Structure 1
Amino acid sequence: MTAPRYRIELADLPGHRCRVTLTLPAPAAEQDFSLPVWIPGSYLVREFAKHLSGLTARQGSQALAVEQLDKASWRVRCSGRAALVLSYDVYAFDASVRTAWLDSERAFFNPSSLCLRAHGREAAPHRIELAGTPRGWRVATEMRAQGGGYEAADYDELLDHPFEIGPHWQGEFQAAGVPHRIVVAGAWPSFDGERLLADVQRICEAQIDFWGGAPFERYSFLLWAVDDGHGGLEHRASTALICARRELPTAAEGAAPSDNYTRLLGLFSHEYFHAWNVKRLRPSEFARFDYQCENYTELLWFFEGFTSYYDELMLCRAGLVDAGRYLKLLASSVNGVLASPGRRVQPLASASFEAWTKYYRPDENSPNTTSNYYAQGALVALCLDLSLRARKSSLDVLMAKLWKASAGGPVSEVDILVAVRALGGEEIGTQLHAWVHGTVELPLRELLGAAGIDWREEGRQTVAQRLGLRVRESALTGITVTHVLSGGAAQAGGLNARDEVIACNGWRLRRLDDVPALLAAGDTRLRLLVSRDQRLVELDVVLPAPRPASIALALTEGAHAARRRWLGN
């Protein structure tokens, strides 16, 4: 038996420390180990090894030296073929879905944060055994239970099964005959678990129907509710989620989901859709992962962006929101993209490739130089869907075609474009290439209008919007500039990110929207006093005339049959 075996002990709850013992039968003479530096689905080198300490090695009673090769790799020179035992501690106190957490209330971990890779044994079965679990705590994972532990077919599968451990709430349902489970840690007493189960069941059934079947035998949603947070990370038969408690449904929830609860349902929908689109249907560059460095692809606009398009659309098709509510959600996405000058600078293919250095490491200039492959990619999906529907096809048909052609496996951009051209012709294929490799504006208004959706401009811009600013306002810290947008009046007037705006035209400012009250009729000149690195600076800025603040989308008369085929209700 050559399978690596990990004993993971919840050793020190107050100190947030897991103790890991890795037993490797019949090691190589020079046995190398490494810990991943990133986790698939989250495209940033996160250096999990920074939390590992106290690494020791032994064979029987003989202690062996451990040589560190680089930031996340080690070598042990073994004496014979007796089992090699490594022991080490891992600090687990990251409040996210990506790494590990341990305290007196719960434990959570992705094996990528705890389980060293034994080089040369990746294809062998891997086993996890848990120890030190407090009385009353339960274990939730989709890794196969076997003989008092958990087993994965190989190292890749090992890393694709997170563990949620604690006195959590748990409920089950079946979707299209497939068992599903929702686990919730940290919910407050008014949490309505039965409603969450019923609503998520509808999402799952709609998506299984969309794809023509489930690619897993069971599925778990592992949700951690906290004071403030939102996000998820997909896995082959589960997803790890985090949300703000205010997003959970409660006994007081009305028949129509609140905005907060709708946001949570969209998160469930997004991560579940990934079980097909990225975990199986995936970029050809991800056919095999290299866990020790960045893995580049230009296709995140498709695998994240198209998933972002379908997440809220599936809420509509499942009957959880009506068409009018869906259009409000869509309009919010449109407004977010239109408010970012970076969409005219960085093509979506480049945004995908550069996610490792730009998307996950934003700064004050990011809105000016980067596009968002999630939100803008979703709008590309919308444009492609409506373009194909005008030619008696749809994005639904395209996704099914790619799934069948790839047998639920890797695809390239060429594969996607070939399928698009087969369904919609050369013109649409050329348009899609331009949308993702160029910086042209998407024809949203025209395509939505042809689909029976009215595009309206409404509202009046805030002072920050008129100036081209993003600010943080607080009664304690005042008005602080967080972003200065390219081409705006604030940039022309010399404002910088991190400036504190103190006064305007001799008046103390508490809120930026008080500025118009300080101007005489017809006056647009602002004399701003700002604090910059402890110095007071005066700046002359011209306040542009207000324009409509946003677009709104609404149903028009007619085209009902086409809209129903698109929206599903």
Structure 2
Amino acid sequence: MRTILLAFLFLCFTGNAQTNSYNISFENAVHHEAKIEISFPEVKTKTLNIRMSRTSPGRYALHEFVKNVYGFKANNSKGEEITAKRKGPYSWEVSDHDGTVNIEYTLFANRGDGTYSQIDETHAHLNIPATFMYAEEFQHRPVEVNFDIREDLNWKVATQLQQESETTYSAPDLYYFMDSPTEISDFDMKSFNVNGQEIQFALHHKGTEEKFAEYFDQVERIVKQEKAVFGELPEFDYGKYTFLACYMPNVSGDGMEHRNSTILTNKESLAEGGMKGNIGTVAHEFFHAWNVERIRPAELEPFDFAEANMTGSLWFAEGFTSYYTGLMLCRANVKTPKEYIEGLAGTFNYVWNSPALEYFSPIEMSYQAPFVDAATSVDPTNRENTFISYYSYGSVLGLALDLSLRQKDLNLDDFMKMMWMKYGKTEVSYEIEDIEMILKEYAGTAFASEFFNKYIYASEMPDYNELFSSVGIKLERSSDKDLGVSLNESEDGLKISRNTYKSSAAYKAGLTAGDIITSINGTKIESKKQFDEIIGTASGRITIEYNRFGNKKTTETELGKNPAYTISIDEEAPREAIKNREKWLEAK
């Protein structure tokens, strides 16, 4: 179902497949509304179920897009209104038709990111599942959609869909349609060719041509370095891959991969920090063209639009992609080796200082995605102590595996190529055991079994001192004292903004989120700077006064050591280690 070839073969053999037609217009864009019309012809069943998706490709949680739909109507081929019963929160049952069911409704959309849609007078930023209803029984039918663009706003269309006319596009089936985000705006476009395939970059922004040209040069270098990892580009449908970038003040920061395109959104323009701040998302999402879109977890195939999607492989699918994000920026000369290496510390500290290691392995962290992947809930959680992002966890494990392989004169690039040839190029989905099997084939059974048993099926920490030393990097731990709290300044004192870590002095002292620290050792605390100075010079046990629910309380604790690591280039590393580092980080 994921390949266009198979879909077209299906149509050729059936010969009489009908096309579902969509039209969307934006007359009331100023109020974030779109009018949508859908026509389902050749309906053979007495009733037809029309529904809105609850999730979106690349996301794993539920988003309940139907909440922004209203004015729903159903008509027959003559325009006569027919019966439409609400069958649940997400669907309508339409009956009494004459073989044709026409649907119309209004959509409110005002969040521009990789999950939702946004309509205003700057653009129509459309994530398809958040925009269009569908009939599940027609999932194999081709789709045609007309974007009734605002010519008065100079809008154009950018999408991975196949263009049929000026504003009409097609998809071979429902899945491809749902997987095809669309940016409609007065964007700028640049492109380059790699081995006969076109890489397009549509940029909706307020910046200059000079900034776009500088940014696009970085994009081109990243694409070529990522191609070098796998040895080839995927065979993109229609011979084209499209970046849909929207760097505007009205959007929300995000990135979302799709089969032949990706959404990139951020409030920062290229001139206001976006040149450096946004390019990492470019590297991450394009790597997904191989890892996730084609090297694909079995649990996500086919993707379920009606339920949350869960897989235990996100440490690999998202995490290893995150490892390559920074590495590609270095190899593409967007970051210096020094910037890349020192930048590893943030993710490293987040993962290996987390109390959550005692609860979940990387696989089990991946299972948490339906609850954390842009999921919404109103009750507080204890994620500080129970969850590590599979992006970060997988990233530091990818780093460990790469450096471990390099000690055997192997590397992660060649392992990823093997995954590509076995599961990506063939588009045969994999299970976790298949990743281990390929690693055994590449690096040996003993090596692969030890890595998976210690670090994937369990939560042990690799010997990073040895691994970093092999490439001339120093791993050092801070000697500073630490209470272990995140603080916000308030009129009443310093408010603890997050749950305290189980391993921290604050946790052991009974301090928790919402407490307001007012004094330490009798000294009134009025700023975070003052707090840091007192903690830095304190010795022995300290006395802390704080307010909780309006009540004054006192506690005592022994300060712990700051658990943070620093990671840096070892200027005195042996020549062999320096050569290993250069080989690891150099452009391919």
TM-score by length of 2: 0.88
Q: 2:440 aligns with which of 401, 421, 428?
A: 421
1:21 aligns with 2:46: no
- Match of residue 553 from structure 1: 568
How far apart, in 1, do the equivalents of 2:459 and 2:222 lie?
34
| Alpha-carbon offset, residue 472 of structure 1 | 2.6
Counterpart CA distance in 1 for 2:209 and 2:350 is 33
1:276 aligns with 2:298: no
Residue 441 of structure 1: which of 461, 470, 480 is its match? 461
Q: 1:222 aligns with which of 237, 244, 248?
A: 244
8 A contact 1:351–1:359 mirrored in 2 = no
Could you tell me how far apart the structure 1 residues matched to 2:207 and 2:102 are? Answer: 42
Give, as a single letter, the amino acid of the residue that structure 2 aligns with 1:165.
Answer: I
Q: Match of 2:318?
A: 304
- Supply the AA of the counterpart residue of 2:259: R
Residue 475 (structure 1) shift = 7.1
How has the CA–CA distance of structure 1 residues 518 and 151 changed in structure 2, closer, same or farther, with 3 Å as cutoff? closer
How far apart, CA to CA, are the structure 1 residues paired with 2:532 and 2:316? 44
Q: Any idea what SS the aligned residue of 1:431 has?
A: helix
Which residue of structure 1 aligns with residue 474 of structure 2?
A: 454
Q: Is 1:471–1:483's contact at 8 Å kept on the other side of the alignment? A: no
**Identical counterparts, % of pairs:** 25
Structure-2 separation of matches of 1:515 and 1:147: 64
Q: Where in structure 1 do 4 or more consecutive aligned residues deviate above 6 Å?
A: none
The 1:493/1:457 distance shift into structure 2, 3 A limit, reads closer
Deviations 1:457-516 (A, max 9, x none): 35735xxxx112122336798534322111322122222212233333444322234236
Residue identity opposite 2:21 in structure 1 = R
Match of 1:366 in 2: 383
Greater displacement, 365-374 / 267-276:
365-374
> Partner residue of 2:266?
243
Corresponding position of 2:307 = 293
CA apart distance, 1:122: 0.9
Moved more, 48-57 or 68-77: 68-77
Distance 1:154-1:40 versus aligned 2 partners, 3 A rule: same
One-letter amino acid of the structure 1 residue matched with residue 39 of structure 2: T
- Structure 1, unaligned stretches of length 5 or more? 251-257
Matches within 5 A, 1:329-344: 329-344=343-358
Higher strand residue share: 1
Deviations 1:193-213 (A, max 9, x none): 110111100001111232222
Give the aligned partner of residue 95 of structure 2: 77
Is residue 164 of structure 1 aligned with residue 183 of structure 2?
Answer: yes
Q: Which moved more, 1:444-453 or 1:119-128?
A: 444-453
Code of the residue aligned with 1:153 in structure 2: it is: P
CA distance in 2, matches of 1:432, 1:352: 18
Letter of the aligned partner of 2:124 in structure 1? A
Give me the whole-angstrom Cα distance separating, in 1, the residues matched to 2:82 and 2:288. 43
User: Which one of 112, 125, 144 corresponds to residue 127 of structure 1?
Assistant: 144
Is 501-510 or 127-136 further displaced after alignment?
501-510
Code of the aligned partner of 2:217: A
Structure 2 distance, partners of 1:293, 1:196, is 38
Q: Deviations over 1:45-92 (max 9, x none)?
A: 0111111112110111321111222221221113332x2100111110
Tell whether the 8 Å contact from 1:309 to 1:379 is kept in structure 2 after alignment.
Answer: yes
Q: 2:151 and 2:496 mapped to 1: Cα distance?
A: 46
Partner of 1:357: 371
Kept in 2, the 8 Å contact 1:52–1:89? The answer is yes
**Distance in 1 separating the partners of 2:447 and 2:96:** 60
Opposite residue 96 of structure 1, the aligned amino acid is D
> Which letter does structure 2 place at the counterpart of 1:489?
A
Q: Distance in 2 between matches of 1:46 and 1:67?
A: 23
Which sits farther off after the overlay, 346-355 or 192-201? 346-355
Cα pair distance change 1:541/1:96, threshold 3 Å: farther
Q: Find out whether 1:147 has 2:170 as its counterpart.
A: no
Tell whether 2:63 aligns with 1:46. Answer: yes
Cα distance in 2 between the residues matched to 1:177 and 1:562: 34
Higher mean displacement: 63-72 or 467-476? 467-476
- TM (norm. structure 1) is 0.91
Partners in 1 of 2:490 and 2:191 — Cα distance?
Answer: 44
Distance 1:176 1:539, change over 3 A: farther
> C-alpha distance in 2, partners of 1:129/1:182?
22
Aligned residues: 553
* Pairwise CA distance, 1:523: 5.4
Q: Is 1:503 equivalent to 2:519 in the alignment?
A: yes
Q: Helix, strand or coil: the match of 2:575?
A: coil
Do 1:481 and 1:500's aligned partners in 2 also have CA atoms closer than 8 Å? Answer: no
Name 2:9's counterpart in structure 1.
none
**What letter corresponds to residue 178 of structure 1 in structure 2?**
Q
One-letter code aligned to 2:333: G
Q: Cα offset for 1:19?
A: 0.9
Alignment of 1:56-71 (within 5 A): 56-59=73-76, 60-71=78-89
Looking at structure 2, the residues matched to 563 and 72 of structure 1 have their Cα atoms a distance apart, in angstroms, of 53
Q: Which moved more, 1:273-282 or 1:443-452?
A: 443-452
Residues 88-103 of structure 1: pairs in structure 2 closer than 5 A: 88-103=105-120
Alpha-carbon RMSD: 2.4
Matched AA of 1:536: N
Residue type matched to 2:119 in 1? L
SS at 1:88 equivalent: strand
Looking at structure 2, the residues matched to 389 and 144 of structure 1 have their Cα atoms a distance apart, in angstroms, of: 43
> Residue 173 of structure 1 contacts residue 197 of structure 1 at CA under 8 Å; is this kept in 2?
no
Q: CA deviation at 1:335?
A: 2.1
Report the CA distance shift for 1:125/1:162 in structure 2 as closer, same or farther (over 3 A): same
Give the SS at the match of 1:62: coil
Letter matched to residue 107 of structure 2? V
Q: Is the contact made by 2:296 and 2:429 (CA closer than 8 Å) also made in structure 1?
A: yes
